[in-house]
Amino acid sequence: MPRTVTDTRTSPTPSAGLPTDGGGDDVRGGHGGRPHRGGAPRWLRVFLPAVLILIWLTGTAIGGPFFGRVAEVSSNDQTTYLPESADATAVQELLGEFNDSETIPAVVVVTSDTELGDSQVTAIDEAVAELPEIPGVQEDLSPIILSEDGLAVQAFVPIGSEEELDDVVSEISESLRAELPDLEVFVTGPAGFTADLAAGFSGIDGILLAVSLAAVFLILIVVYRSLLLPIAVLATSVFALTVSLLSVWWLAYADILLLSGQTQGILFILVIGAATDYSLLYVARYREALRAHQDKWTATWKGLRGSFEPILASGGTVIAGLLCLLLSDLKSNSTLGPVASIGIFFAMASALTFLPAVLYVFGRAAFWPRRPRFEPEVVAAEDGIPSRGIWARTGRVVERRPRRIWIATTLVLFLGAVGVTQLDAQGVPQSELVLGESEARDGQVALGEHFPGGSGSPAYVVTDQDSLQTAADVLLDNSGVDGVTVMTEDEAGSAPVDSDGVSAFGPPGTPAPEPLVIDGAIMLQATLTDPADSAAAQDTVRELRATYAEADSEVLVGGVTATAIDTNDAAIDDRNLIIPIVLVVILLILMLLLRSILAPVLLVLTTVLSFATALGVSALVFNGVFEFPGADPTVPLYGFVFLVALGIDYNIFLMTRVREESLTHGTRRGVIRGLTVTGGVITSAGIVLAATFAALSVIPILFLVQIAFIVAFGVLLDTFLVRALLVPALVRDIGPAVWWPSKLAKRDGSGAGQTLSSATDGK
């Protein structure tokens, strides 16, 4: 906010002989150098801030070490987050009983440019046989399989599900490359892709946190042109994040919440961004109060009174929106709601307790070298708003041409929203989840060149033991299935079957081994001809399910491909259910906050339009610039929840101030005053939040990069177009009726006919 320079000789000075805080603050209290009657006793002024600071320091000291322990309670396994009603979930639960082992298969692929000789095949066999010496690799290795073209060998290597997959997969790869220096080695399959995800998320504790904090710090330096104040605001965010992580860690440890790398990354960014935004709002109010009140205790309470309601309303709106995710059938969505809500709660708590306590201790010195002067006469002459600066000029522009502005901005937003039709959010292959280089992705390509694409990631079919042959026939009749095996009592685990019920393990006509029967059910494994994460494989699984359904067979189809199908279908259902509910919840909160119906409806509509524009522009960028393979179905849902909830934040910051000004100055003048006063702080908050979400793009996970772009662009759009022009112009054009049906809609307050231009003439 611009500082008006005045002659310091006209400003009251501290009373002679009274101690000050070094910034001109009378520690005994008072206004204009006089003792403040009814002020808090000195012991409370010392005790309360000290206790608040000590509580946060203690929580941070305890929670700090847990940043390095998140892996102990988190999981990136997709099957963990499946809805309980999904077929793939039921099959996954039965798989452990049929397999009698908790392992994740890695598919080792070794290739050569020329046909492999006997000595090379033997060397590969010996190298694979030594893999159980690596901690985490299980003993029950499969025999190696030579491809028909003689150019590749594959082997299935089971890894314990409790192991650090990225470390084990890396050791397998290094061991085989050392033993087979003249051949190309890849480790792919479920274990390979899970290891890729773990490696991608590994930067969350380090690089993501460092980049986001550095970005926020630099922005705060530019905003405040101070050193101590940005440190205090940044400490507010870090303390909120640390205590949030501590709480979430123990809830995950107690199996109350599920935690993944994706959820962790969003928690970090959301807390840092939200806590900084709330801090900026408090600092702006505190600075205003310091100019009007010499006593820093009084200024602190004035700052809290001015910021408490909008911060609480903003945080409450975000929490309400996030908790709507509990309605999701996907655990990855439903668990994000409470995790992120905990983060927002501590962001509010830190901004309303720790920051005021710290700034009270430092007083005006916290703003050095641009300390706010105690200048009540200047504040009174300004009539509460600055007469110069970009936001004063913006206010005058909106004041003169409100209808033209809101119509023009609405058309621009609609134009951008058209791009939504280009968004492909039906899911992406597992091999495309990690950006950049991927050994698992390269290995899957090599696997598909020499073996059936679905090798290592079969479809599992569970049916009644009396329907073994019928179920097998359906599989064998499908062109997308390359081969079928049945789980047996044999320790080898399975044996091939064909439509005649014969086994490839013996001479022609030899009956297939007896299947393993558990509670009257048997399990078949179908190797698909296409890669398990491909659209063609998904079509095959959907066809199989449809065929079984037509035959009224109680058959369950699971596996990697079925998991992806069930996850995407559930995500789409969640999106269609949750988005309308979030809108209704936020609308009700705004109605209670603004005591109006029309204003909240307008705010929600503008925010939804802004979201549609952000999504439309993002779709064009994803397709035309980055050439992404598509998007996960949860991307629009997450983008909506964050953008609508956070976009409403800025409208709350603006409209609560507009309502406050309207009570005295009338709606049409009040909206211009509110825009002028809040412009700086809301713009700074928007830039900070956009920068923190943009930091998510340093994690090479497609989902997070897309969320980073959508939210960062959407927040900037909300900050500089919707909140700065569209909403003020609409309110200015509609006038007092915007507060319908409250009493404020029937009056325009004192000075209603006076414009901002006339009010500031001669200043």
Supply the pLDDT for residue 708.
92
Domain covering 1-72+203-382: architecture: Up-down Bundle (1.20)
Question: What is the spatial distance between Cα 710 and Cα 632, in angstroms, rounded to a whole number?
Answer: 13
Report how far residue 422's alpha carbon sits from residue 470's, in angstroms, rounded to the nearest whole number.
43
CB 756 within 8 A of CB 395: yes
CA distance 26 to 15: 8
Q: What is the pLDDT of residue 25?
A: 45
Work out the number of other CB atoms within 10 angstroms of the CB of residue 170. Answer: 16
- Kindly tell me the burial class for residue 554, based on how many C-beta atoms sit within 10 Å of its own C-beta (0-12, 13-18, 19 or more): exposed
The pLDDT, as a whole number, for residue 7 is 39
CATH code of 454-565, in short, is: 3.30.70
Q: Look at residue 131 in the predicted model and tell me its pLDDT.
A: 92
Q: What are the E-state strand segments in 117-183? A: 145-146, 152-160
* Residue 511, φ and ψ in degrees, nearest 5: -60, 150
Angle at 568 between CA 567 and CA 572, to 5 degrees: 120
Q: What is the mean pLDDT of each run of 10 residues along the chain (763 residues)?
A: 39 38 41 47 88 95 87 70 80 79 84 92 92 88 88 90 81 92 90 83 75 87 87 94 94 86 85 91 89 89 89 89 89 87 95 95 88 78 67 88 94 94 87 85 88 84 88 90 82 52 42 77 90 89 93 86 89 89 90 89 91 95 91 89 80 86 88 88 87 88 92 92 92 92 72 43 37
Let me know if the fold of 1-72+203-382 is the same as that of 395-435+590-763: yes
- 146: tokens are 């030579």
Q: Which CATH architecture has domain 395-435+590-763?
A: Up-down Bundle (1.20)
pLDDT, position 725: 92
Contacts of 571 (CB under 8 A, 6+ apart): 330, 333, 427, 632, 633, 634, 637
- From the list 155, 157, 105, the residue with the least C-alpha distance to 125 is 155
Q: 98-201 maps to which CATH number?
A: 3.30.70.100
Domain layout of the chain by residue ranges: 1-72+203-382, 98-201, 395-435+590-763, 454-565
Q: Residues for the chain: how many in total?
A: 763
3-state helix, strand, coil in the chain (%, to 5): 65, 10, 25
Considering the entire predicted model, what is its pTM? 0.81
Q: What is the pLDDT of residue 78?
A: 63
Strand order in the sheet with 521-528: 494-496, 481-487, 521-528, 459-464, 556-559
CB 701 within 8 A of CB 200: yes
